[in-house]
Amino acid sequence: MTDASLPDVCVVTHPLAAAGENATRSLLDILAAITGVALVTADLPADSEIHERREVVELTRKGAGDSVLVAAARFLLNQLRMCRVLADRDEVVVLFYGATSYLLPIVAARLLGKTVLVEPRGDVPLTLRLNWEQRLPAPLARGLAGLVRALERAGFAVADGVVTYTPAMARQLGLHPEAPDVYPTGARYVRTDEFRIQRPYEERDRVVGFLGRLDEEKGIRELAAVARELPDNVTFRFIGDGDLREWLEAELDAEIASGQVELTGWVDHDDVPKQLNDLALLVLPSQPTEGLPTTILESLACGTPVLASPVSGVPDVVRDGETGFRIDSRASSELGAQIAEIIDEAALDDISVNGRSLVETDYSFEAAVARYRAILRESGR
């Protein structure tokens, strides 16, 4: 039930890819359970259900393009358009979700007397730097990423408050989680009725898996080498699709033929809970660019322990030896040995229960609504 005493919220995002669309939809669902909400964005897919469920203001249908100069021009133009849109909006609170380097509209919203919150989804400057280094000289890529980071830090300083997924994520972004203008527990939620334990842990086979895009930034080449290192009685399953699908099929041809490695291909989101319930362990060598991968929360909700890199907000959720395990090294031989040790020796039944309990307590829809209700109340004081 919405709360008439709380202000309506205008959520502002940068152009949305598929992952960003899912995260934004979750945030809008949370806010809509509390108060009125609208979305200002760019390049939202025409078939997105957000169009049907929420008020959406589209700035442009044009993508960023391949040229850095073109992307920079559109970045500036979108900010000017945002300023104009925000001046016409009645919402008291503006939440910049992911668009934390959009300094011009952040400043404009403050000058308009609105309460401004910024919520990073991850380390955007680092993400951009890694992408730019693939097509630009490294010094130029670092310089441009440094400029974006400076804009983001300025946005943090100008805003009334900064929301992060977890305290560890706040610290990685150079913020103090106990500062009065930092709200360090804005993590997303899991649909605990859909993502639940369907197959008791003790009935699961020795299947270790990865779930996500099969591309370079997800560490797929490293995981392919890990799959070869595992004992014969452990199967490694790649769940998903992506640019490296054909490479995996060729690289692991013998292991696929013997059944040691499995590739499921694309899996519809409705089938993800079943896939997670078939795993004894999910392995996610997360990049420091990610704030808190939703897949981790979904896995724990299904009672599947997670082995993940201790980056950004991950350590607050994947608690070593309690709800999951932290990757010690991404070197294939060491990671393979760690997986084998976990499968053979860890008290995984208890860890499965602990993971589900953590999600039910802290990352259910109801828990997320309570957190954001508190954030809106505190930020409006």
What domains are there in the chain, each with its CATH number? Answer: 9-188+364-379 (3.40.50.2000), 201-362 (3.40.50.2000)
Q: Which of 339, 294, 331, 287 is nearest to 310 (CA)?
A: 287
- Consecutive H or E run containing 56: strand 55-58
pLDDT of residue 203: 94
The Cα–Cα gap between 211 and 222 comes to: 14
pLDDT of residue 128: 79
pLDDT of residue 1: 60
Residue pLDDT, tens place only, 349-367: 999 999 999 999 999 999 9
pLDDT of residue 369: 95
Token duo for residue 1: 């039930």
How many H-runs (helices) and E-runs (strands) does the chain carry? 16, 13
What letter would DSSP give residue 320? B
The 3-class secondary structure across 97-146, one letter per residue, is: ECCCCCHHHHHHHHHCCCEEEEECCECHHHHHHHHHCCCCCHHHHHHHHH
pLDDT of residue 381: 62
With 0-12 CB in 10 A as exposed, 13-18 as middle and 19+ as buried, what is 14?
A: buried
Spans in the chain with pLDDT lower than 50: 63
The Cα–Cα gap between 352 and 374 comes to: 30
DSSP 58-95: E--S----S-HHHHHHHHHHHHHHHHHHHHH---SEEE
C-alpha 348: how far from its chain's center? 25
pLDDT of residue 330: 86
Token duo for residue 53: 């469920």
Map residue 235 onto helix, strand or coil: strand
The Cα–Cα gap between 231 and 183 comes to: 44
Residue pLDDT, tens place only, 244-276: 999 999 999 999 999 999 999 999 889 999 999
357 neighbors 305 (Cβ within 8 angstroms): no
Map residue 343 onto helix, strand or coil: helix
pLDDT of residue 264: 94
Residues paired with residue 82 on neighbouring β-strands, in sequence order: none
The Cα–Cα gap between 201 and 145 comes to: 44
Query: What percent of the chain lies above the pLDDT cut of 90?
Result: 65
pLDDT of residue 66: 58
Residue pLDDT, tens place only, 100-139: 889 999 999 999 999 999 999 888 888 778 777 878 888 8
In the chain, the N- to C-terminal Cα span, in Å, equals 22
